[in-house]
Amino acid sequence: MNTKRRLDLNLLATLETLLVEQNVTRAAERLHLSQPAVSAQLSRLRELFDDPLLIPVQRGMLPTAKALEMLDPLRQALDQVRATLAEHRHFNPARARLTVAIACTDYLQKTVVQPLAFALGKRAPGVRIALRHLDPSRLDAQMVNGEVDLVLMTPEHAPAGLRSRRLFDERYVLIGRPLHPGLRRGLSVAQFARLDYVVVSLHGGFTTPVDDGLAALGYQRNVALSAASFLLVPEIVAHSDLVALVPERLVRDRDVALKVVECPFPVPGFSVGMLWHERNHGHSGQRWVREVIIEMAGKL
């Protein structure tokens, strides 16, 4: 098909309206176009289909046999396009089919994505979540190429240029087994430093900013275990004399019995935000999922 005969959906919409109205003036009014513009489009349609399509008669225009033959399939095709556009603008969670790729840490998989999955199962059973491990070094490329749709992370560490929404602020609490001999409310810094710890480090390290804070106060603690995941920590401390500083929301609805106390000196917390690429900003399904996450974060 050469350039002059290239298909244009606007032309097909004009053809549908002309075949229904059988009058250029009325078709122009329905299409919010000028009469000369519709006449010009009719000329292009005649060239495209190599047929007069509409023949002038005394009171309007009469469709040709070829035009009448095309009307039903043309309407079905355009109705399908319109339905697709309507579905995009007016997202129906109960009927939608959508996969959303979310990158986040294991802590946020537990505290945000798990309740999100439960909520989607009830409200949008056709919406699936594809979990991705958060890899800051690859995140920019993943967002650009569509491998990741949403990111849950500390916004200050995110690539520039992404849209974002703060979800909540998190703080750290000290946890251990219920009958731990050294864990009690109102710990002094010295008592805190004498406990044995589990820390979480993606790279297997044994120090965190907490150790810098202790050093500034003249203390040093013993870190006996470096774990790669926060999810393992509650189970570890529940069955040992180790203790750990963990995000508070991780242990609010805990599966194991734990004692939770305050740290005896200020430990900086962190904020959690949701980030997405401009490409997904206007997508109604993605927007609906973001709104559900915001709603859930308010309850967290």
Q: Do 275 and 163 touch, CB atoms closer than 8 A?
A: yes
Retrieve residue 231's tokens. 């999810």
Distances 278 to 160, 199, 219, 286, 293 between C-alpha atoms, Å: 12, 36, 47, 11, 18
- Measure CA 39 to chain center: 46
Per-residue pLDDT tens, the chain, 300 aa: give them: 444 455 677 888 899 888 888 889 888 998 899 999 999 999 999 998 999 999 998 878 899 999 889 888 888 888 777 766 665 567 889 988 999 999 999 999 999 999 999 999 999 999 999 999 999 889 988 988 889 999 999 988 888 888 899 999 999 999 999 999 999 999 999 999 999 999 999 888 999 999 999 999 999 999 999 999 899 999 999 999 999 999 999 998 777 899 999 999 999 999 999 999 888 887 889 999 999 999 998 887
Angle formed by the axes of helices 24-31 and 35-49, nearest 10°? 110
Give Cβ neighbours of residue 71 (< 8 Å, ≥ 6 apart).
16, 19, 63
| 3-state class (DSSP) for residue 96 | coil
Give the up-direction half-sphere exposure of residue 193: CA atoms within 13 A in the CB hemisphere.
15
Retrieve residue 188's tokens. 């002094």
C-alpha angle 153/158/135, rounded to 5°?
Answer: 70
**Confidence (pTM):** 0.68
Element of type H or E holding 268: none
Q: Do 232 and 211 touch, CB atoms closer than 8 A?
A: no
- Measure CA 173 to chain center: 29
Domains of the chain plus CATH, in order, are 3-89 (1.10.10.10), 98-170+271-299 (3.40.190.10), 172-268 (3.40.190.10)
Retrieve residue 113's tokens. 């994505």
Q: Is 36 exposed, middle or buried (0-12, 13-18, 19+ CB in 10 A)?
A: exposed
User: Per DSSP, what are the bridge partners of residue 245?
Assistant: 174
In angstroms, the first-to-last Cα distance of the chain is 58
